[in-house]
Amino acid sequence: MNATSNYQVVICGGGLAGLTLALQLRKGHPEINITVIEKTVRPLDEAAHKVGESTVEIGAHYLSSVLGLKKYLEEKQLPKLGLRYFYGDTTKPFETRPELGPSMFSPVPTYQLDRGILENDLREMVVNAGVELLEGVSLKDISIEDGGELNTVTYVQNEEEKSIRANWVVDAMGRRRYLQTKLGLKKESPHSASSVWFRMEGKVTVDDLVSKSNTNWHDRNIEDRFYSTNHLMGLGYWVWLIPLSSGNTSIGIVTQNDLHDFAAYSRNYETSFEWLENHEPHLANHLKGKEPLDFRKIKNYSYGSEQLFSENGWSCVGEAGIFSDPFYSPGSDMIAITNTFTSNLIREDINGKLSSEKVDQLNDFILENMFPDQLNYYVEGYHTFGNTQIAASKFLWDTLYYWRIYAHAFITGVYADFEKLKTFEKHVKQFAELNRGMQKRFKELADSTPSQDHFEHIDLARKEMFIESAISLLTKPSDANYETHLQKQFQFLSELQKSLEAELKNSKTERTPFADFFGQLSGKAKLQNRYNRLVSRIGNGTFLYAVRDVYVDAIVRGKQR
């Protein structure tokens, strides 16, 4: 064995989680030694097909602002036109299915990631940043020591066994969950669901499922629906269509195990295609005669953990630790959060302030609070997916809850501050209780209420409450007002909870947020849509968004005063 080299941080795994952590640590601590070890060698296949192609607000903010990749994402990846859902009877013409989604890009940008291209580029970035990247390396062992002793990573490169000793060792090797297995920390998830996914060459879009002659349907969106993460919804399942910057399209089937037999459709692409013929016939008909570029599957993809971070200098980030469900695209969110928490602990260690209390705080925040709260969306949520009004109501609640609680806290820096996080966690317990009650109620209503298509199209870009909540992500309360801010969010969500009951009882005595959400656009809003469509033709939309950004900036500055 060769002479052992000392590094302060060794990251095992050169995928999205490991590479972004290396960049984050290099930005925050240019003085420390960082190495990344990875089995695969560049150039990576640009067709690399991994779960986690779509970002939402936490992951997008992490990549664009925390890591400073905004310009890169705008130039090399695709913008995301939000989440889009199609409910209702799958046997009827596709254009009759109720549609929920934005007609314009959000003022808070998110992205569609082509992981093969992105990870190739990230490898170049970390090397240029001065991180040592060891490729073609097979991990043999990670030895964790107690009491502040250096940990040891043993690996094989060019048939030679080598080792690295480090203050911190990070498992970023994804679903292999090396440290979780070695240390006996794996934990089952209460959520039982599975998925297959494949890439099709070229552009596959929901627009192809509706005749071009139906101009009313096509014209009600200013931007191309292709740029959304499109969800085709049914009882116990959803099908995704996600655009990739390579020009190809990712398609996936996700099902709850107690409602769909995974074995029946997961053997190969042919069995998945048969499943689509039975459940999403319009998409299946469009795919007929086409062959996928690849085919992947995961049974029981959700799992938990007993511990993610240790004062003995190890952590598990991204899917090396926990995973809930792909429905709301949380994969890059969990990378952002676990990477940030790992960075926090390394910062404290460098400054001589690391303590078991701080490690416990971060473990508890994720494993006792945030992750169980996140699972509440999904454990019984799949039972609501076949009920149009209930599933759409659940989307509104889930999105506003995520934006106003978790996303806002991350974007405003709470996750990087131990004291603010302590205040936040105290309130999260209260929020989670409210969310549990709502998720239980959605399941009860879906089981007892027949599905009714109360709407044709909900344009999220024209819903005032939705727009205000998106813009609020950009406003940061002062430290003195943070507790008051959290109390206001609880009050808002409590009122939203009450309004759901009133709306679903068809109460005519009060105008509720849900009534506004499901209601038809006013004449003024329709006129504004036509105006926006005309203006969007100027400079391929750049003028429209420039005007919108000035308006949003003025609102944010007004709220900050």
Ordered by start, the domain boundaries in the chain are 1-77+113-183+305-355, 193-298, 384-520, 523-560
Compute the half-sphere exposure of residue 431: CA atoms within 13 Å on the CB side of its CA: 27
Q: What is the DSSP string of 67-104?
A: S--HHHHHHHSEE---EEEE-S-TTS-GGGS-EEE-SS
Tell me: the pLDDT tens digits for 69-113? 999 999 999 999 999 999 999 999 999 999 999 998 998 999 999
Q: Residue 197: count other Cβ atoms within 10 Å of its Cβ.
A: 24
Compute the half-sphere exposure of residue 50: CA atoms within 13 Å on the CB side of its CA: 21
Same fold? 1-77+113-183+305-355, 193-298: no
For residue 507, the model assigns a pLDDT of 47
Q: What Cα–Cα distance (Å) separates residue 219 from each residue in 97, 223, 460, 477, 534?
A: 16, 9, 15, 39, 11
For residue 519, the model assigns a pLDDT of 67
Q: CA quadruple 483, 485, 486, 491: dihedral positive or negative?
A: positive
Q: How confident is the model at residue 1 (pLDDT cuts 50, 70, 90)?
A: very low
> In the numeric block, which tokens belong to residue 391?
């599933």
For residue 538, the model assigns a pLDDT of 55
d(CA 556, CA 545): 16
Q: What is this structure's pTM? A: 0.93
Q: 388 and 98 in contact (C-beta within 8 Å)?
A: yes
Q: What is the DSSP letter of 468?
A: H
For residue 12, the model assigns a pLDDT of 98
Q: How confident is the model at residue 3 (pLDDT cuts 50, 70, 90)?
A: very low
d(CA 325, CA 398): 14
Q: Residue 53: count other Cβ atoms within 10 Å of its Cβ.
A: 29
Q: 330 and 402 in contact (C-beta within 8 Å)?
A: no
Place of tokens 């203006």: 535
d(CA 171, CA 18): 8
- Give the least confident one: 15-19, 223-227, 520-524: 520-524
Q: Residue 357: count other Cβ atoms within 10 Å of its Cβ.
A: 9
d(CA 365, CA 351): 23
Q: What is the DSSP string of 432-453?
A: HHHHHHHHHHHHHHHHHS----
Looking at domain 1-77+113-183+305-355, which CATH architecture does it have? 3-Layer(bba) Sandwich (3.50)
Q: Is the pLDDT of residue 341 over 90?
A: yes
Q: Is the pLDDT of residue 385 over 70?
A: yes
Tell me: the pLDDT tens digits for 412-421? 999 999 999 9
Q: How do beta strands 137-143 and 249-256 pair?
A: unpaired
Q: 320 and 183 in contact (C-beta within 8 Å)?
A: no
Angle among Cα 230, 90, 202 to the nearest 5 degrees reads 40
For residue 509, the model assigns a pLDDT of 45
For residue 58, the model assigns a pLDDT of 98
Q: Which residues contact 65 (CB under 8 A, 6 or more apart)?
A: 411
Instruction: Please give the residue that has the higher pLDDT: either 256 or 475.
Output: 256
d(CA 286, CA 198): 15
d(CA 307, CA 365): 11
Place of tokens 């998830």: 189
Q: What is the enclosing helix (H) or strand (E) of 480?
A: none
Instruction: Please give the residue that has the higher pLDDT: either 464 or 439.
Output: 439
Compute the radius of gyration of the chain from its Cα atoms: 24
Task: Among 3.40.50.150, 3.40.50.970, 3.60.10.10, 3.30.70.2450, name the CATH number for the domain at 193-298.
Answer: 3.30.70.2450
d(CA 380, CA 236): 9
End-to-end CA distance of the chain: 62
Percent of the chain with pLDDT over 70: 87
> In the numeric block, which tokens belong to residue 324?
């809930």
Q: What is the enclosing helix (H) or strand (E) of 197?
A: strand 193-200
86: β partners: 99, 232
